Chains A and B, each alone.
Chain A
């Protein structure tokens, strides 16, 4: 049970992105706010890592720090290795070359993230032209091809329309087309389906999967929707109060969660396939802690059903390695009662 700082110990060297002990602190008038507090993970070529957590758990700050888009007052430490290069020590100019070209981002609200006064086609072209000198006619052809690829119907007409003429799902598709325009090595999707209804969600996630099959890019999927993660991710990282509390592949994390918080999240999901007592949704008691006043010891203990006095409220749990690609930040990760998957 050695504490580990990285998810695996370099057994695989095809990591597109490797984040090590990332800490992001925002100074405020009431004191420093540790938005991200020692998070480590890796994303591999052709694979998707889902980052799951409730609002304020540090998901978005993590993704913003990868792109170097956090406000200047943020104090960042740790390592963000993109293909071996530490992004945290890169200059703004170097980052600008990477952004949009090697690492691209899909935003949550496509209507807000698209420029209202620019044609959709022009915005996608802009993405290409920012990074590559390509003849205009070629770019247009490429844009139409991209729109077609993400499933925008009638792309040669749609290319000249404005964002407000697109429907919600189509706008998200256009955002994806923009993100993949330069065939990035890493795609960061920050709650890409939250603003969409369930049918469109499924279609959009489908597009992501198709793109990934084609380009073999790595993907970081940030969401609070466990269903989406179960559907498309290969591995999962669960975040709570700025910490990575559990890592695992989708299969072992969903069937055998080794952290009480993950268990709480899973049992709060509606299960239409279950009859009887489990029909009532379980909730995690209490509220997420204020980042300004984190409880001593494990930040989750005040809400934890397995917490033990004198242990959990004293010791800050390290990340415990439980096996290949599997770790948990719970002192009792190995002795937790067996998880009754209510589905069986």
Chain B
């Protein structure tokens, strides 16, 4: 700009021609992308930040138990006189004399893995079922949704117990069986969203561009559902961890010598009301913390992904 401007008059606001040059030079106000807006809202969400922090710390401690745990797995402390929590054994000792803190961390590996596995698997399966049902409609929709209903109405605990008795109760089978009971919610959510999205003009535009059905589902429709799918995925992780511990508590889940927070709780239930009640508290608190943290994270995701949400 070579023209001299009268002092005190901001001409730039009226000067549209230069807008795009300015943009190139990086002097124009930066346009925020969806992703930037999402990050901004997410990182200002207190609950989500708390959840993320707790998750990261617990995840690191559990999976890094080899370095973090003060004692190796299963090592007995035969010299300790008092099993109560102390500076040496911060969670105390279990009835066999093992460091309870280390045990809780190692057990957490199993609980977390099952939760994450179920969350991932049920999300993938549920999304597929929902997308196919919603997109193709007609008989495929009817068939898939009736199957979904069928899975929803079965008495879950009973089915779980029977299935685990039949297929054995390794972590893998628990993940598979829990997935079998968890994919329906996400399938219904995705189906509903796909039903409305497939009528959108940009889907028709994609079809007019020669895109195949699978391309439309994966490249056009599903990216629009990242929000609801990821929120639901986090929530199902929390639910899976809780359900696994319920099962283990009832004796159908992870079996000794492998440990999870569920069977630790189960083993400790006899100590309620005794001086060693802490055996119940610690795995219980861990369960509570982790499910709470994941739920907070899911809430934060939902708020941050809501385009109508407050722009932080």
Contact = CB atoms under 8 A, between A and B. Distances in A.
Interface of A: 67, 69, 96-101, 104-105, 107, 109, 112-118, 126-127, 130-131, 153-154, 157, 161-162, 165, 178
Size range of the interface on B?
20 to 34
A154 B223 contact: no
10 contacts: A101-B210, A105-B209, A107-B201, A113-B201, A115-B223, A115-B224, A117-B34, A118-B220, A130-B210, A154-B21
B20 interface: yes
Contacts of A69: 204, 207-208
Given A97-B210, A130-B215, A105 B205 contact: yes
B204 A115 contact: no
Nearest to B200: A112
B193 to A, nearest CB: 13
B24 A162 contact: no
B140 interface: no
A157 B24 contact: yes
B209 A99 contact: yes
Given A96-B210, A161-B31, A114 B21 contact: no
A116 B34 CA distance: 10
B120 interface: no
Contacts of A97: 210
Nearest to A63: B208
Contacts of A67: 208
A56 B219 CA distance: 33
Interface of B: 20-21, 23-24, 31, 33-34, 200-202, 204-212, 215, 219-220, 223-224, 226
B202 A112 contact: yes
Nearest to A118: B223
B38 to A, nearest CB: 11
Given A117-B34, A130-B215, A162-B34, A98 B205 contact: no
Given A112-B200, A117-B34, A127 B220 contact: no
A85 to B, nearest CB: 16
B210 A112 contact: no
A41 to B, nearest CB: 20
A67 to B, nearest CB: 6
A100 B31 contact: no
Nearest to A98: B210
Given A115-B224, A127-B209, 9 more contacts: A67-B208, A113-B202, A114-B202, A115-B202, A116-B224, A130-B210, A130-B211, A157-B20, A157-B23
8 pairs of A and B residues whose beta carbons are closest in the complex: A100-B210, A100-B209, A99-B210, A112-B201, A154-B20, A153-B20, A113-B205, A105-B208
Nearest to B225: A117
Contact of B31 (A96, A113, A115, A165): A165
A201 B50 CA distance: 51
A178 B209 contact: yes
Contacts of A154: 20-21, 23-24
A57 to B, nearest CB: 20
B210 A131 contact: yes
Given A112-B200, A114-B202, A154-B24, A100 B223 contact: no
